Amino acid sequence: MRPSLSIEVIFIVCVVSIVALTRYVFIPLRLRRTQWLALDAEIQPVDPAQPQPERVRAHLQRVADALRPEGYEVLGDYAMANFTERVAAINRVLVNRATRTSVSVVMHFVKNKAGVWEINQTVIAFRTEFADGSQLVTSNFKLINAVPPKPGVRTCTFVRFRNPQVLAEIHEAIVDRYYEGKRRDWPLDTRFGGDATAFVRSHQPETLERYVTSGYYYENRDENRLRLTLKGAFLTAWKNSSPWKGLRHQRRDREAARILKELGMDYQGRKRREEAKEGGP
Q: Per residue in 170-225, pLDDT tens? A: 999 999 999 988 999 999 999 999 999 999 999 899 999 999 999 999 999 999 99
Which residue stretches of the chain are H helix?
2-21, 27-34, 54-67, 164-178, 187-190, 196-201, 203-213, 230-239, 244-263, 270-278
Max CA distance (Å), the chain? 83
32 pLDDT more than 50: yes
164 pLDDT more than 60: yes
| Per-residue model confidence (pLDDT) at position 28 | 84
pLDDT classification of 1: cutoffs 50, 70, 90? very low
252 pLDDT more than 90: yes
110-119, pLDDT tens digit by residue?
A: 999 898 999 9
- Mean pLDDT, range 153-163, rounded to an integer: 95
| Per-residue model confidence (pLDDT) at position 100 | 97
- Count the neighbouring beta carbons within 10 Å of the beta carbon of residue 174: 19
| Per-residue model confidence (pLDDT) at position 10 | 66
Q: Which residue has the higher pLDDT, 181 or 73?
A: 73
Distance (Å, whole) CA 15 – CA 39: 41
pLDDT classification of 281: cutoffs 50, 70, 90? very low
Exposed e or buried b per residue across 242-255, where buried means at least 16 C-beta atoms within 10 angstroms of its C-beta:
eeeeeeeeeebeee
- Name the 3-class secondary structure at 170: helix
66 pLDDT more than 90: yes
Q: Is 93 exposed, middle or buried (0-12, 13-18, 19+ CB in 10 A)?
A: buried
